[in-house]
Structure 1
Amino acid sequence: MTSGGLSEWASPRDWKITDEAGYRSPGPFGRRSREKEMPAQLTIGEFSVMSQLSKKALRHYHELGLLEPAHIDAFNGYRHYDTSQLRTAQIIRRFRTLGMSVPDIRAVLATDDVDRRNQIIGAHLRRMETHLRETREAVGSLRELLEPTGRPIGVEFRSVPATRAWAITATVATPDFGDWYRGALREIRSALNAGRHTPSGPAGGLYAPELFGDEIGEATVFIPSSATSGATGRVMIVEIPEAELAVTVHRGTHADVDRTYGALGSYVAERLLSVDGPVRENYLAPEDDPHGELLTEICWPIFRTTTR
């Protein structure tokens, strides 16, 4: 490439050159018929057409160090690429179409370690699979909302006595809840197993209204057990207080648990039974699979003066 941006294998009369925002077009004699095997140099416009990446994207990738031009004219600053860079551009385009982050793409392109490269790509594919599963769940839930069955939920009134349990309590932000919940449940289960203690009931949770309304609030995850010693780390032996509860069962995924919450909350509110206090959940199955079919008791605190 000369300082004027002309190809080494084409004379000035063979090409008309515009600025970086334009495209190089054949002169009156067209391209020379003799092909050289060395990579041909291209304007950013030509490279954009061949790679299907916009000039804006190419400039952005240059700034990020992801795809640098083969040559930058010292006089006018125009970017020039060569045909050997098309494969890299195609790889970048496909990864970006799949939603891979720029840092991950840079890491894939920079490493010669096949295992490391596969590790990065595999991690991204797993994230995509999770997103796809969540999207399918959301679509299914939306379809059910658009075609409501109108079936009433079954509600049971239950007086729950105070219960000893091994528990972890923390103030949790809603976006962090899933990871916190799974980690806390594993830690409690591990502590019980270490002491060879047997749970006396299904795992459960107590969640303050602020966790839903303010996106941060107190959360307690617990597993009932009569064991009185041996708790370690964050695990505490506590007494889950007695409560009067309206209980219904949620069957399905976490994506549509809001429908069960809405139905139970409406049932309680319409009968003027609701009182302040944490919502309780009992995890019947599975306890810690956020994408599995759930069987969870949703328990709303209520006021009762008589046995129902």
Structure 2
Amino acid sequence: MVTIGEFSRLTHVSVRTLRRYHETELLVPASVDASTGYRHYGVEQIPTAQVIHRLRQLDVPLTDVRRILGSSDPGTRATLVADHLARLEAELDRTRAAVTSLRRLLAPEPAPVHVELRAVAGAEVAAVEDDVAIDDVLTWYAGAMAELDAVVPEPAGRPGGVYDNALFEQGAGHVLVHLPTTDAPRRGRVHPVTLPGVELAVATHVGAHDDIDVTYGEVGSWLVRNALAVAGPIRETYLVGPRDTPEASAWRTEIGWPVFGVGVAPGGTGGTDRSGRTHGTRRSAD
């Protein structure tokens, strides 16, 4: 038996923390002197104290700590810890994404965004579509694209997505991902769709999607400066993505904002620098 001070030195857990563990019944001392209230611990409690301390450092909830300590099944304990680590990794990914966006937003001289006006003809595609919550888009997209890849082995172009305005405005909306093909099959969720022709303001996002919202904002600012009204759902085209290379810095995603009444000649383009000056070929709106 050792005193709480000695136990603290042996475990590298502070006396204050040990008292809190006692109060919450995570780690009850082997004995407590009835007259003095002094706590004493058995040396066999050292590993338990260290496990609790590690779990709490990882922000494992108290209920899960109790379940881990109370389980005699190594598999159950491992599953509980793995589930919490997965939650931590997801939170870390969100933190990294926020840091990436902030660094780009706070850069003293942001890289200029180039926007071009483009007339896109209608196209036949093989598609998977559904109503999706914005937090589930990445998981849903991965499954949908895997299904498309399985039934369209030789697509006629790059994959893309069409994202309903409600997805961004309300947190859930219609999403359609597609592969261009001249003979779209009907298999599982895959079915043929005809995408209508549209006029787009297009910019290319470089790199991972952690800060793609910044590029969205830059394109939106350009549209406002040029007094162009946004029309239908946003389109994305994945020129280079995770399907092509794990190197995120090589990814290239075209963001296309449909616009009203631009009147771009077929094949014509227009672009800007960051000042908002336009250049390129247009035709007059009818």
TM-score range for the pair, normalised by the shorter chain length: 0.7 to 0.9
1:150-171 CA distances to partner (integer Å, 9 max, x unpaired)? 4431112111111111211111
For residues 273 and 244 of structure 1, do their structure 2 counterparts lie closer, same or farther at Cα, with a shift above 3 Å needed? same
Counterpart of 1:191?
A: 151
TM superposition shift of 1:128:
4.6
1:305 paired to 2:263: yes
Q: What is the SS of the residue equivalent to 1:171?
A: strand
Please name the residue that 2:19 is paired with: 55
TM-score by length of 1: 0.69
Maintained 8 Å contact 2:204/2:252: yes
Alignment-derived partner of residue 272 in structure 2: none
Please say if 1:163 is aligned against 2:123: yes
Structure showing greater relative contact order (alpha-carbon pairs closer than 8 Å, 6 or more residues apart): 2
Q: Percent sequence identity over matched residues?
A: 40
Q: Provide the rounded CA distance (Å) in 2 between the counterparts of 1:111 and 1:200.
A: 56
Deviation string, structure 1 residues 68-123 (Cα, Å, up to 9, x no partner): 5546999xxx997544223211111112212345566556543564x776676566
d(CA) in 2 for partners of 1:46 and 1:276? Answer: 71
Q: Secondary structure at the match of 1:226?
A: coil
Query: Which position in structure 1 is the counterpart of 2:59?
Result: 99
User: Counterparts of 1:73 and 1:240 in 2: how far apart (Å)?
Assistant: 79
* Partner SS, residue 143 of structure 1: helix
Q: Assess if the C-alpha contact under 8 Å between 1:42 and 1:83 holds in 2.
A: no
How far 1:251 moved relative to its partner? 0.4
- Give the structure 1 partner of residue 180 of structure 2: 224
- Report the Cα offset of residue 282 of structure 1: 0.5
Partner of 2:207: 252
Match of 1:5 in 2: none
Report the Cα distance in structure 2 between the residues aligned to 1:180 and 1:306, rounded to whole angstroms. 34
What is the CA–CA distance in structure 2 between the aligned matches of 1:177 and 1:306, rounded to whole Å?
Answer: 32
Match of 2:274 in 1: none
Root-mean-square deviation (Å): 3.5
Residue 209 to residue 152, structure 1, CA distance change in 2 (3 Å) = same
Q: 1:207 to 1:96 in 2, by over 3 A?
A: same
Match of 1:213 in 2: 169
**2:18/2:27 contact within 8 Å kept:** no
**Range with greater deviation from structure 2 (150-159 or 295-304):** 150-159
Q: Which residue does 1:29 correspond to in 2? A: none
One-letter amino acid of the structure 2 residue matched with residue 302 of structure 1: V
Q: Give the CA deviation at 1:270.
A: 1.9
Structure showing greater radius of gyration is 1
Aligned mate of 1:200, from 144, 149, 156? 156
Which of residues 178, 185, 188 is equivalent to 1:233? 188
Are residue 296 (structure 1) and residue 253 (structure 2) matched? yes
Q: For 2:63 and 2:123, how far apart are their aligned partners in 1?
A: 49
Further displaced range: 273-282 or 100-109: 100-109
Q: Which amino acid aligns with 1:250?
A: H
SS in 2 for 1:256: helix
Compute the TM-score of the two structures, normalised by the length of structure 2: 0.74
Distance in 2 of aligned mates of 1:176 and 1:201: 26
Paired amino acid for 1:274: A
Give CA deviations for 1:38-94 in whole Å, capped at 9, x if unaligned: xx2767x9877863325344433x3xxx545546999xxx99754422321111111
Closer/same/farther in 2, CA of residues 127 and 41 from structure 1, 3 Å limit: same
Q: Structure 1 residues 103 and 168 mapped into 2: Cα distance closer, same or farther (>3 Å)? A: farther
Q: 1:252 to 1:306 in 2, by over 3 A?
A: closer
Aligned partners of 2:130 and 2:174 also within 8 Å: yes
CA drift at 1:226: 1.5
Give the Å deviation of 1:211.
Answer: 0.7
CA distance in 1, matches of 2:83, 2:129: 31
